[in-house]
Amino acid sequence: MENSKKSFITNKMIKDAIKDSFIKLNPKDMIKNPVMFVAYIGMIITAILTAVPQIVGENGRLYNGIVTIILFATIVFANFAEAIAEGRGKAQADALKSTKKDTKAKLLKPDGSYTVINASELQKGDIVLVETGDMIPNDGEVIEGLASVNEAAITGESAPVIKEPGGDFSSVTGGTTVVSDWIKVEITSEPGESFLDKMISLVEGASRKKTPNEVALTMLLIALTVIFLVVIVSLYPIANFVGVKLEVSTLVALLVCLIPTTIGGLLSSIGIAGMDRVTRFNVIAMSGKAVEACGDVDVMILDKTGTITFGNRLAADFRPVEGVSKEEMIKYALITSIKDTTPEGKSTIELGQKLGFKVDAKEYDNAEFIEFTAQTKSSGMNLKSGEKIRKGAASSIMEFVKENGGKIPGDLKGKVDDISKLGGTPLVVAKDDKIYGVIYLKDTVKPGLIERFAQLREMGIKTVMCTGDNPLTAATIAKEAGVDDYIAECKPEDKIEAIKKEQENGKIVAMTGDGTNDAPALAQANVGLAMNSGTIAAKEAANMVDLDSDPTKILDVVGIGKQLLITRGALTTFSIANDVAKYFAIIPAMFMLAIPQMQRLNVMGLASPKSAIISALIFNAIIIPLLIPIALKGVKYRPMNPEKILKRNLSIYGIGGVIVPFIGIKVIDFIVSPLLSLIGM
C-alpha cells in the first residue's frame, strides 16, 4: 500500500484511463451524466450533418466536421477525468488484493486438533489456530492466546500490534500476519464479506453512490441544461424572423458552450477523488456520504484518553515538602529514574533536564535498581554507599520511611491530596528515613492540539471532550487543551445523549471510538470514525475506519471533507463564470454579419464568426483536462470561517472563471483564424 501512496498518477493509470475514456462512450455509460449526454447527442447530430449536410439544406461539411471533432474531444476529456480518478482507486484496490492470496486456515476440531482448509471455506463461528508466520484467514475475534500481528498489509505500518482476548484489542483483520506466538480466532464474517473485501469494493468505487449534495448539484446542472436547451431551440425561429440564418452546428456549439459542461465533466471525478484522498490518508470511508458529512460537521465529540491526551501519566511538576529545597528533591527523583524505562521514569528525567538538572548515569552503573511491582508499589535505587532511594505510592513510601525510623512531614498529605483532586498521580520520593517531596504525574495533552482546536473554532466547529474523570480534572484538561466544552464522569449512554442533543438542534456531529461500548454512539453520530485496532462492533457501527488507529485523525478527516465540498463549489463557480466569456464570444459571432450593431459586443475582437465559435468550443474542451489536477488533488484548504472561504473562492474561481476564458479564447482565436483562412473558412 505504501507504494501506491507515493505516486500521484502513474503512466499505467494514464494508459488505462485513455482506454476507459473511449469505452465510456457507450450510451449506457454516457446517459449517467445528463450534461455530457446532451453534448454527446449534439456530437451525433453534427456528425450526421458532416456526412449528409443536405438534410437541413447546408453545405458546410468541413465546418460541421470540425465542430464534431471538438465535441468528441470534449466528451473524451470528460470521460478521461472520471477514468483517471477511478484509476487511482483501482490501483489501491490492486494493492489490497495482493494481500488476498490463496490463504490456508487451520480449522480447530472439538478435540483440539486441526485440519488445514482453504480460507474461502471458513464459515462464521469457526475457530482457527494462527501461529507464527501464518496469515489470519478472515476477520475475527481473539478468544485465546496472545500474539504480535503485522498489519502492514492493511495499514502500511510495519510495527506489529499485540492482540489478545477481551478488551479493545481483540479484533483481527483477514490478510494480516502473526509474527510471533499464537492465537485462536473465532471467525466473525462470511467468505467475501470481510473488512478487506469491503475495503476493496469501496476503493474500486463499486459501491459508490452519489451523495445528497452531489445529487442536488446534478439536478441544478440538469435544470440549467434544460433552460439553455429551451433558449437555443427558441433562438432558431427568432433568428429566422430577423433574417439571420443560423447553422445547426453553430446552435449545437452554443448549447455545449453555455451548459455547464466543465463541472458536468468533472463532478464525478471530484466525488471519486474525495473518497480516494480519505483512503490515501489510511481511512476507509464506508460511503461518499460519510466523506461529504465530514465537510458539514458542526460538533466534534472526542475522548480524552488517547485523543486529547497521551494516555500515559507523565511527570509535570516536582513539589518538595516543607524544609526541603526543590533542587535536592529533584536530585533524588532523578536518581530513582535513571534505570526506570517506564513512561513515568523517562518523563521524570526529561522534566528534570528541562529545569536544568542532570544526573550522571555512569556514577550509578553499579547501583542496584529496584523495579516497580504491584506488591511494593514503588521503585528506586540501592546505592553502593548503602543509601536507599525510593519513589512510589504515598502509602508505600510512608511505610518505607517509618521502617527506617523516619517521620512523615505534616504537609505531605495535603500535597498528595491536591494532586489527586486534579486527577493526577502523586509519586512520593524518599531517601532512607526522609521524605523529600512529591512528583506530580498527569495525563499530558498532546502538543499542537490547542492550535488545531482554535482552527476548528474559527471554522465554526464546536469541540466537546468526554472523559470519565471527575469534574475538577476534566475542567483542568479541557482548559489546557482548549476545547469548547467537556462532559465529566461520562458514561457510554452520556455520549449518545450528547450527540442526540446536538442533532436535535440541527447540528452535524462527528466522534471517534474503538470499544464495543462506543458502538451505539458511533452509529448515532453523523460521522463515526472507528479505530482499526478496536472491536468488530465499533467498526461495524462506524461509517469510517482509521487503519492507523489514530484518534486525532478525525481532525484531519474533517479537513478532507471540507476540501471536497470547497473543491466542488469552486469548480462549479468557475464553470458557470466561464459562460460569461463564451457568451461574448459566440453570440456576437452569430449575429454580427446580419446585425452590424452586434459588433460592439465583440469585446475580444475575434477575427471572424467561424473562428469565434470554434475558439470558444476548443476552450470549452481543453479546460476540462486542465482542471483535472485540481479535481483530483482538491482546492487547497485553509482552516477559516465559512464567510472567508466563500469570499476567497468567489474572488479566485468566480473572477478567474470570467477572466481566464477571455484570455484563452483570444489566444486560441489568434492561432485558429489563420488556419481557417487557409482552408477557406
CATH number at residue 346: 3.40.1110.10
For the chain, give the longest Cα–Cα distance.
118
Mutual angle of helices 609-633 and 655-678, in 10-degree steps: 130
Q: Is 186 annotated as a binding residue?
A: no
The owner of cell 457568451 is 583
> Does residue 426 sit in the same domain as residue 302?
no
DSSP state letter for 599: G
Amino acid (1-letter code) at residue 263:
I
Per-residue pLDDT of 186-227, as tens digits, reads 988 877 666 666 666 655 554 456 667 778 888 988 998 999
What are the φ and ψ backbone dihedral angles of 299, each rounded to 5 degrees? -130, 135
Distance CA 305, CA 82 (A): 42
Q: Which residues of 326-355 are buried (b: 16+ CB within 10 A; e: fewer)?
A: eeebbbbbbbbbbbbeebbbebbbebbeee
Beta bridge partners of 95: none
Residue 195 belongs to some domain of the structure: no
**Is position 147 annotated in a ligand binding site?**
no
Domain-embedded: residue 3: no
Report the relative pairing of strands 462-466 and 485-487 from DSSP bridges: parallel
Contact 513, 301 (CB under 8 A): no
Residue 100, in any domain of the structure: no
Other CB atoms within 10 A of residue 93 CB: 20
Distance between CA atoms of 397 and 378, rounded to whole angstroms?
A: 7
Which helix H or strand E contains 29, and what residues bound it?
Answer: helix 27-30
18 within some domain: no
Tell me, yes or no, if 303 is annotated catalytic.
Answer: yes
For residue 326, how far is the Cα from the chain centroid? 47
Q: Which of 130, 143, 142 is nearest to 103 (CA)?
A: 130
Q: Which domain holds residue 409?
A: 312-444
- Beta-strand ranges (E) seen in 515-570 are 527-531, 544-546
**In a shared domain, residues 86 and 217:** yes
Residue 99: the pLDDT is 53
**Is 168 annotated as ligand-binding?**
no
- Beta-carbon contacts of residue 66 (< 8 Å; ≥ 6 apart): 614
Q: Flag whether 373 is marked binding.
A: yes
Same domain (yes/no): 327, 473: no
| Angstrom distance (rounded) from CA 154 to CA 196 | 8
CA-to-CA distance for 140 and 600, rounded, in angstroms?
A: 74
User: At residue 100, what is the residue type?
Assistant: K
**Domain's final residue, options 496, 514, 547:** 547
| Domain identity same for 328 and 421 | yes
The pLDDT value recorded for residue 318 is 94
Domain end marker among 547, 571, 589: 547
Asked, for residue 298, whether it belongs to a domain, the answer is yes
Residue 509 shares a structural domain with residue 456:
yes
Task: Specify whether the CB–CB gap between 460 and 298 falls below 8 A.
Answer: yes
Is residue 518 annotated as involved in ligand binding? yes
Q: Which residues of the chain have pLDDT under 50?
A: 1-7, 158, 206-207
Q: What is the pLDDT of residue 216?
A: 84
Our count of domains for the chain comes to 4
- Which residue in 342, 362, 346 sits closest to 354, CA to CA? 346
Residue 498, classed as helix, strand or coil, is helix
Separation of alpha carbons 377 and 467, rounded Å: 26
pLDDT attached to residue 55: 66
Neighbours of 99 (CB within 10 A): 19
First and final CA of the chain: distance in angstroms?
54
The three-class DSSP label of residue 469 is: coil
Is residue 435 domain-shared with residue 318, that is, in the same domain? yes
Instruction: Give rounded-to-5 percent helix, strand, coil for the chain.
Output: 55, 15, 30
Q: Tell me, what's the pLDDT at 54?
A: 66
| DSSP calls for 383-409 | -TTS-EEEEE-HHHHHHHHHHTT----
List beta partners, residue 433. Answer: none
Residue matched to cell numbers 553502593: 384
pLDDT at 624: 92
Contact between residue 264 and residue 251 where contact means Cβ atoms under 8 Å apart: no
Task: Write down the pLDDT at residue 79.
Answer: 92
Q: Are strands 127-131 and 177-187 parallel, antiparallel or unpaired?
A: antiparallel
431 and 456 housed in the same domain: no
Task: Please tell me whether residues 77 and 211 are part of one structural domain.
Answer: yes
Alpha helices in 242-363 (DSSP H): 248-258, 261-280, 288-295, 326-337, 343-354
Task: Give DSSP secondary structure letters for 99-143.
Answer: T----EEEEEPTTS-EEEEEGGG--TT-EEEEETTPBP-S-EEEE
- Is residue 539 within 8 A of residue 171, CB to CB? The reply is yes
Backbone angles phi, psi at 404, to 5 degrees: -95, 10
CATH number for the domain spanning 490: value is 3.40.50.1000
Residue 341 CA to residue 361 CA, distance in Å, equals: 13
Annotated binding residue 379: yes
Q: Is 669 marked as a binding-site residue?
A: no
Which of 427, 444, 461 is the endpoint of a domain? 444
Q: What is the pLDDT of residue 97?
A: 58
Q: What is the DSSP letter of 325?
A: -
Query: Using CA atoms, how far apart are residues 568 and 211, in angstroms rounded to an integer?
Result: 12
Shared domain for 162 and 185, answered yes or no, is: yes
**Same domain for 136 and 149:** yes
Q: Tell me the backbone φ, ψ of residue 389, rounded to 5 degrees.
A: -115, 130
Asked whether residue 597 falls in the same domain as residue 578, the answer is yes
Residue 16 lies in a domain: no
Q: Is 391 annotated as belonging to a binding site?
A: yes
> Which among 249, 255, 254, 257 is positioned nearest to 51, based on CA atoms?
249
**Does 128 share its domain with 86?**
no
Question: Which CATH number fits the domain that encloses residue 173?
Answer: 2.70.150.10
Give which of 249, 250, 257 is closest to 48, Cα–Cα.
Answer: 249
Q: How far from chain centre, in Å, is Cα 124?
A: 31
Measured from the Cβ of residue 11, the count of other Cβ atoms closer than 10 Å reads: 8
Assess if residue 58 is contained within a domain.
yes
Report yes or no: 258 and 577 within 8 Å, Cβ to Cβ: no
- pLDDT confidence of residue 188: 86
Tell me whether residue 94 is annotated as binding: no
Using alpha carbons, list the distances in angstroms from residue 380 to 383, 505, 620, 628.
10, 55, 76, 63
- What was the pLDDT predicted at 1? 37
The catalytic position among 197, 303, 546, 579 is: 303
User: What is the C-alpha to C-alpha distance for residues 120 and 414, in angstroms, rounded to an integer?
Assistant: 63
Per the domain annotation, does 539 fall within a domain? yes
Structure confidence at residue 4 (pLDDT): 38
Q: Are 492 and 514 in contact (CB under 8 A)?
A: no
Give the phi and the psi of residue 185 in degrees, each rounded to 5. Answer: -120, 130
Among candidates 558, 542, 530, 373, which has minimal Cα distance to 463?
A: 558
Sorted by sequence, the CB contacts under 8 Å of residue 166 that are 6+ apart come out as none
